[in-house]
């Protein structure tokens, strides 16, 4: 039986289209979208992707660790 490989997190459709990236302090526990690390008491970048359609709009919020965001930006993933 064949195995299915999961695509890397940076290839997520909404992540590449997120806008409004801002560096903010995480007062509450959040998880880095790319690495899965806990971002509590650290600075992280927050971005939002808006998905509209027939009905209520859907807001997807992404939190990325500061260093991982810089690496993803340099590689062209964001």
> Which residues sit opposite 31 in a β-bridge?
38
Closest CA to 21 of 50, 76, 61: 61
How far is Cα 14 from Cα 55, in angstroms, rounded to an integer?
18
How far is Cα 26 from Cα 48, in angstroms, rounded to an integer?
16
CB 70 within 8 A of CB 76: no
pTM over 0.75: yes
Condensed to tens digits (0 to 9), the pLDDT of residues 41-55 reads 999 999 999 988 888
Condensed to tens digits (0 to 9), the pLDDT of residues 7-43 reads 667 666 677 788 899 999 999 999 998 888 999 999 9
- What is the domain partition of the chain in residue ranges? 23-75
Q: For 1-78, where are the alpha helices, taking DSSP H only?
A: 13-16, 66-75
Condensed to tens digits (0 to 9), the pLDDT of residues 57-73 reads 989 898 999 998 998 88
């Amino acid at each position: 039986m064949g195995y299915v490989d999961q695509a890397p997190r940076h290839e997520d459709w909404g992540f590449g289209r997120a806008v409004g990236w801002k560096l903010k302090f995480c007062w509450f526990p959040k998880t880095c979208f790319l690495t899965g690390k806990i971002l509590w008491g650290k600075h992280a970048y927050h971005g939002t992707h808006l998905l509209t359609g027939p009905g209520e709009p859907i807001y997807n919020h992404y939190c990325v660790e500061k260093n991982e965001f810089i690496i993803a930006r340099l590689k062209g993933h964001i």
